[in-house]
Amino acid sequence: MSTGVFSVFEYYLVGFRRAWPATLLSAFGLPLLTLLGIGLGVGHYLTTDFDGIPYLRWIVPGLIASTALNLAVGNSTWPVLAKLSWTGTYGTQLATPLRVADILTGHLAFVLFRVLTSCLALLAVAAGFGALGSATALLTIPITLLLALSVAAPTFAYASAVPSETYFSALSRFAVMPMSLFAGVFFPISTLPEPVRVLAYASPLWSAVCLIRAAVQGVPTPWPAAAHVLYLAVWAALGWLAAYRLFRRRLAG
């Protein structure tokens, strides 16, 4: 991490240091309620195992991945547009020796940090339920960060391209919600019609769910693991390049 990127990252950490106690309830409370309500509640009425795994354990990888997805999107929409259009934070940072790449990458690093802390909390809750079935469960951490980057970087580009926050509801309605519902989080995508299944395959969330499920439960991935990783990396790289070009255009204007 370069000095400029670290300086931007440190700027966000200073602000987060004052606000982190307010995140504890959502970090631990929501995963606990979700596992109780869906994992145990819904799972109680399911008479068959999923891939030979009880539903409570089967759903944990999907919950980790969808949590990372929603956190990455939430921290890459309004905060980015606000700093570009409302508060002028990015413009102020650019007036220092910081470069556009430093500003973009430092903010992305903070988004990954937020995702990391929340997903560690979710892993701790899942471990308390005995839902981590493999010693390789710690591989969930780099997979989750890669998913967060593959989602956050394109969302940064989207947030810097739209004229107002009203466009974020379309992003949620037509991208985030369908991915959360149809990318293997709550049920296997093999139960979906073929056209919908193809859309699920195109989702970065599905690749992350497959990788996390393999890490947590020791099951094989539908594609080679390297293909899933490469797919997520392509999303992250193309998203960063698009965000960089749009940031440079907006901040130069």
Residue-wise pLDDT for 127-171, tens only, equals 887 778 677 888 999 999 999 999 999 999 999 999 999 999 999
Cβ count within 10 A of residue 192: 16
- Listed as ranges, residues in the chain with pLDDT below 50 are none
Query: What local confidence, expressed as pLDDT, does residue 191 receive?
Result: 84
Listing DSSP states for 49-98 in one string gives: -BTTB-HHHHHHHHHHHHHHHHHHHHTTSHHHHIIIIIS-HHHHHHTTT-
pLDDT per residue as tens digits for the range 232-241: 999 999 999 9
> 2: left (phi > 0), else alpha (psi -120 to 50), else beta?
beta
Query: What local confidence, expressed as pLDDT, does residue 94 receive?
Result: 93
Cα 198 from Cα 98, distance rounded (Å): 42
Query: What local confidence, expressed as pLDDT, does residue 6 receive?
Result: 94
Cβ count within 10 A of residue 166: 8
Cα 236 from Cα 207, distance rounded (Å): 13
Is residue 119 a contact partner of residue 140, using CB atoms and an 8 Å limit? Answer: yes
Query: What local confidence, expressed as pLDDT, does residue 238 receive?
Result: 98
Tell me the Cα Rg of the chain: 19
Query: What local confidence, expressed as pLDDT, does residue 43 receive?
Result: 62
Query: What local confidence, expressed as pLDDT, does residue 39 receive?
Result: 66
Cα 140 from Cα 212, distance rounded (Å): 5
Tell me the residue range of the domain where 143 lies. Answer: 3-252
Looking at the structure of the chain, the number of domains it has is 1
